[in-house]
Structure formats: structure tokens, C-alpha cells
Amino acid sequence: MSVLVRQKQELVSALYTAIEAAMASGKLEVESVPEIGLEVPREKQHGDFASNIALIMARAARKAPREVAEIIVDHLPKGGVIRAVEVAGPGFINFFLSNDWLHDTLRAIEEQGEAYGNCQHGAGEKVLLEFVSANPVGPMNVVNARAAAVGDTLARLLRAAGYEVGTEFYVNDAGNQADVFARSLEARYQQLTNADYPFPEDGYPGAYVAELAQVLKEERPDLLDLPFDERIAFCKRWGTDKMVEMQQADLRAYGVEFDLWFRERDLHAQGALEAVIEFLREKGLMFEEDGALWFRSTQFGDDKDRVIVKSDGSYTYVTADIAYHYDKLKRGFTKLINIWGPDHHGYIGRMKAAIQALGYSEDTLEVLILQYVALLRDGQQVKMSKRAGEFITMQDLVEEVGKDAARFFFLHRSPESHLDFDLDLAVEQSNENPVFYVQYAHARISSVLRQAKEQGIAVPTCSQVDLSLLEHETELDLLKQLAALPEELLAAALLREPHRITRYALDLAGLFHSFYGYCHILGEEAPLRDARLVLVSNIRVVLRKVLGLLGVDAPEQM
RNA sequence: GCGCCUGUAGCUCAGGGGAUAGAGCAUCGGACUUCUAAUCCGAGUGUCGCAGGUUCGAUUCCUGCCAGGCGCGCCA
């Protein structure tokens, strides 16, 4: 249990005791005592912790909130860690504590290292996180980059919260788009020797297809000897494999590794689509109409029923996706989280219906919808047109602004917000760029520790120093921020809000820079110097940890 | 028409049933012979889109409306 939670519980039980004592003495009369909430106030002057219990109880007690608060405070046990209690505002009870409880935070960090803040909340739950899943027919875009950052960090957060997590990229290499891509590639191949060879009407115009055709020509100069159908089949397999390799390289450069790249074509090869259709048919959830086979998804709340086998005998996208999700479930995952782009929200209903049809509860599947990303340059939105080839890819973005800035910017905003990504700001090597601000805090501490070492000063452990010497306001603020990590990390994981960690990192860095402006370390007398060395080296551990969660480097010097 | 997201300071965005609604940027003024000035210290800024409702208390929850973005295929 975290230091902060333990301290809260201690105060809550003190409040319970006080309320019971007040009731026993007849000062307070209520049917039952509500659950007591305690929070860290936004304003420092409102104490270390505050409770609104008197406001909540006022009506039942038939007294003014402030009066209730006064009665509770009168019955609170005095002394111990509670330095002062006050009734404030409309009836808040504010607690001011002695600083001792904060020191346990440093001991916890020292003991646990970068595992500090982790917990076992999710123990026993197996979560599958599927994200990006961009079609292997073209370069990834900036929404894919956003999804990669959010998904990867969410996976790291869930693991830190004790969940067993698998990450997957679903490769849609068997559908319509893969066919179109194969025909585009084949046509470009033909055009290498016959400039007049027609390009498919709906083909992919990007230059990358022609470049791939060149590579293909070198690898398979004899391709045209094959019959057309076999040639297309080869192009489909070879081409999508190449695109997957490129996606893997882009994502690796971005710090994202998937546990599994799941091929749609494997589902087809295994007969998984037929199997899941049969399963649903036996449950009476399939019907034929207009020459097609339909899934009665409306039975599970979907807007309309969905075609599973088209009238031409081929499958729709959703058919393979149902088979894929069935596969996930059969592998023992108890929670499926999918991260999709904004154009897919209409797809949620049918997939939730499918999950229920397969015999699982609706909330087994959780879908996070990301919103669009607008790129800004010179304050203007960058217009993109796939057709005209004016298109900023994920690769372009990462090359232009770097992995750290790209990830940090995407993780700076809540996932469901529309995002303006300022390209000029992201590349700026200056104080305006928030990612540097956090990294700089880490580098500064590293520099101090480096110089301490050069001077022959070892970083002591908590037990070797007097932590009560840490009493400057900025030092206490830092200790409180460090104490807040466990709760913040769990909240970020449970609410699926990685941007909380970005904010935490910025706040921690800000408090450190402020401390650094007021307090010296190496120049101080040994006892204070040593206490501060303990403080900053533990701050560095936490900075490294949160940057690690964000997938951003923690440089030793800048 | 239906559904989803968004609307908070000049800009980009946090926050969230409770106390005086916050941060960064931009603007202005200070701080380097001392551990990295990519930093710090100080200063101004609000119809929380609009209107109702619930509540002791709403910017937060509910309903309606307005505005912007997106989606509603036998495409993926």
C-alpha cells in the first residue's frame, strides 16, 4: 500500500472515531455515517488533506455544515501526526500534518527503484490490447502514430498496475484493399517494361507502390511467367509482407514493439471464418436474405443486422474480425481493449454484438476511440490529400520531430480530444518545448550526481541521513508529488488516460526546477547536502520511471 | 435524420458536485564570478458555447438548443 493511501486511511479512521464519539455524546445524530472521502486539496493553504464529510452529513444531522465540522473536529484525537485541524470555507475539515509521513515515500522509492508506483491491482486479469492495425497497403498516418503512442503507453501502464498484457497488431492482409494493392503492384511491375500497361481505376497511386515493384522485379524477374491469378496472389502475399516489414521498422523506431502481429490470412487458412459462422448458425443467429448470409446483430443492440457472407460468396471485413476476436477470447484473455480511429466508432455496436453472440459479456470488449490529429505548420493546418500525394506519414513525422517529441505530444492530450500538433514547436530545441523541460530535469540531476561522484561524495541511503532537514517549501512539494505517483499511475491505467502521466511528469519536473532555483545541494553542509542527494536521486528514479512509461528517453546530459 | 467527439484565458489545452476555475505559450519586468539560464522569480487576463432542470452548492450531472469535426456500405 502506498504511503499516501495509508496516511489517508489513518485520517479516515480518525474521522470515523470522532463521528462515533460525537454521536455517543449526543452532539451529533444521524441514521448512518456515510463513506468518508479525503482528498489532497488543490490549494496548499487548505492543508495536506481535506474532507467534505461535514458538508455531506449536514442535512441528515439537521445542522449547518460548519457546525457539524466543528463538532467532528472537537472529537478528533489530538497529537500524533496531525499537527493542526481547521474548519474552513463552507465546512471543509482541513488537516495539516507533520512532515514525517512524507519521508516513507523516499524509503519506498529507495527500496523499489523503478518498480515504485506499481501495484497488483490487475493481478489475475489477462488484457489484450489491439492498436494501430493499419492496413498493410500503404504508409501509416499520424492517427496511427497517435494510436501507437497511446496504446503502447497504456500497455506499459496496465503492466505496472499488475495486469498481464498482450499487445497485438492485426494485419488485414486478406481483404479487398489487399487485392487492390496487389493489382496496383502488379500493374507497376508491368509498367517497368510496358509503359502503356493500364493502372487499375481504384489502384493506389502512391510512389511507394512503384518503388516496391522495382524491388519485386529484382527478386522475381520471372514473375510474368506465372498465370495472372497466381501472379496477383504472389503480389498480394509478397507486397503485404513488405509493407508489414516497413510498418514494423517504423514502429520500432518509435519505441513500439508488439507481442504479436496477427495475420488475417492465417484466420482464412485455418478455416476460422467458417468455424465462427457455424458457431453462430447453431445459435440461430444467422439468416439468409437477398442472396447473402446475415448476422442478427440487432438482437444484441446493434443498429442493423450485418452481412457475413456477401451474395458473391466472399466475406465482409466484420466476418474475419469476429473470427479474430473469437480467437483472442479462446486464448484466455478476459478483457479486450481496442484502440480505433474516429472513423470506426460506428463499428463498435456490431463488434460488441458479436462478443455477446460468442457468449461473453458486452464489456469484455472495450473500445477507445481516438480523435483526429491536425498538423500545424506556421500556425496553419497542413492540408493533406492522399490522391495528390501530399501526405505526411508517420515516418515523416518521426523523422521530422523525433520519437521523444512525437510520443510526448500525443500523450500530452486526452485521447478523445481533437489534437492540434504543432510541428514547429515539436522540433524547437527551446524552453517552449515541454518534452525538453522534463528531460532537462533528469539531465540536471544526473549532472549533480556526476559531480558528486567526481568530488568523492557518495549518494547516501535514507537510513544514513536526517530527512527532517528537507523542510524547504519546494522540498515538501516534491515529496508530496513523489507520494502521489502510485495513485496517479493506477488512475491513468484504470481510466485509460495516459496523458495523466505526461502531466505528472511535467509537474514533477516543474517542482524540481523550482527547487533547484532555491536550494543548493553540493555546496551545503554535509547533513543537508546528503539529505538533498537522497531527495534528488530518488526524484531521478521517478522521472526515469515515468519517462519510461511514456516511451521517452531520459538523457544523462543535454 | 440518427450516433460519437469537441466547445474553459489572446493561442494550445488540463481539471471537475464544493473553497478564490488552473498550466504552458504569447506579453511585460527581474535573476547567471556559485551544482546545466533548454532554468528560475514576479505581473494581467475568464459570460467554463447558450437556455432550462436536479442539488445546501453545477463550470462539472441531466434535458434541449447552437457551433465545429467525424461516422452511419453486401468498403476496410
* C1’ B26 / CA A425, Å: 13
Mind spelling out the 3-state secondary structure of A328-380?
HHHCCCCEEEEEECHHHHHHHHHHHHHHHHCCCCHHHEEEEECCCEEEEECCE
3-state SS class at A423: helix
**Angle (deg, nearest 10), helices A142-160 and A526-550:** 130
* C1’ B61 / CA A202, Å: 49
Rounded distance between C-alpha atoms, residue A501 and residue A253, angstroms: 22
pLDDT on residue A431: 60
Mind spelling out the 3-state secondary structure of A117-141?
CCCCCCCCCEEEEECCCCCCCCCCC
pLDDT in tens, chain A (558 residues): 789 999 999 999 999 999 999 999 888 888 888 888 888 888 888 889 999 999 988 888 888 889 999 999 999 987 788 999 999 888 999 999 999 999 999 999 999 999 999 999 999 999 999 999 999 999 999 999 999 999 999 999 999 999 999 999 999 999 889 999 999 999 999 999 999 999 998 899 889 999 999 999 999 999 999 999 999 999 999 999 999 999 999 999 999 999 999 999 999 999 999 999 999 999 999 999 999 999 999 999 898 999 999 999 999 999 999 999 999 999 999 999 999 988 888 899 999 999 999 999 988 999 999 988 888 887 778 877 666 666 789 999 999 889 999 999 999 999 888 888 888 877 766 666 789 999 999 999 999 999 999 999 999 999 999 999 999 999 999 999 999 999 999 999 999 999 999 999 999 999 999 999 999 999 999 999 999 999 999 999 999 999 999 999 999 998
Of 3.40.50.10170, 1.10.730.10, 3.40.50.2020, 3.40.30.10, the CATH number of A431-549 is 1.10.730.10
Residues 6+ apart with CB under 8 A from A452: A458, A459, A521, A522, A533
Query: What is the DSSP-derived secondary structure letter of residue A27?
Result: S
The nucleotide lying nearest A425 (C-alpha to C1') is B25
* C1’ B34 / CA A99, Å: 30
* C1’ B20 / CA A199, Å: 67
- CATH class label, A131-261+371-427: alpha beta
CATH 3.30.1360.70 domain locations along chain A: 3-98
pLDDT on residue A391: 79
3-state SS class at A462: helix
The ipTM estimated for the assembled molecules is 0.94
* C1’ B61 / CA A57, Å: 20
Residues 6+ apart with CB under 8 A from A135: A172, A175, A177, A178
The nucleotide lying nearest A437 (C-alpha to C1') is B38
The nucleotide lying nearest A436 (C-alpha to C1') is B38
Residue with cell string 502475399:
A237
Rounded distance between C-alpha atoms, residue A75 and residue A20, angstroms: 9
pLDDT on residue A43: 81
Rounded distance between C-alpha atoms, residue A374 and residue A378, angstroms: 13
Residue type, A313: G
- CATH class label, A3-98: alpha beta
Q: Would strands A49-51 and A92-97 be described as parallel, antiparallel, or unpaired?
A: antiparallel
Nearest CA-CA partner of A345 in A446, A415, A424: A415
Q: Where are the alpha helices (DSSP H) in A91-198?
A: 100-112, 142-160, 176-191
Rounded distance between C-alpha atoms, residue A367 and residue A378, angstroms: 35
- Biggest distance spanned by C-alpha atoms of chain A: 99
b/e code A432-469 from CB counts within 10 Å (16+ = b): ebbbbbbbbbbbbbbebbeebeeeebebeebeebebeb
User: Which positions of chain B lie under 7 Å from any protein Cβ?
Assistant: 3-7, 12-15, 18-20, 22-26, 34-41, 56, 68-76
* pTM of the shown model: 0.95
Structural contact between residues A334 and A126, judged by C-beta atoms closer than 8 angstroms: yes
Backbone phi and psi for residue A420, each to the nearest 5 degrees, phi listed first: -95, 120
Q: Would strands A126-130 and A164-171 be described as parallel, antiparallel, or unpaired?
A: parallel
Residue type, A28: L
Residue type, A8: K
The nucleotide lying nearest A56 (C-alpha to C1') is B56
The nucleotide lying nearest A308 (C-alpha to C1') is B74
Residues 6+ apart with CB under 8 A from A186: A231, A232, A235
Reported as type and span, the H/E element at residue A548 is: helix A526-550
Structural contact between residues A144 and A540, judged by C-beta atoms closer than 8 angstroms: no
* Edge-to-edge strands, sheet with A380-381: A380-381, A373-377, A419-422
Residues 6+ apart with CB under 8 A from A334: A125, A126, A127, A364
Lookup: cell for A451? 559531480
Q: Would strands A419-422 and A373-377 be described as parallel, antiparallel, or unpaired?
A: parallel
Number of other residues whose CB lies within 10 A of the CB of residue A229:
8
Distances in Å between the Cα of A181 and the Cα atoms of A135, A136, A261, A266 are 10, 9, 20, 19
* C1’ B28 / CA A413, Å: 29
CATH 1.10.730.10 domain locations along chain A: 431-549
CATH 3.40.50.620 domain locations along chain A: 131-261+371-427
Rounded distance between C-alpha atoms, residue A147 and residue A132, angstroms: 6
Nearest CA-CA partner of A483 in A535, A412, A414: A535
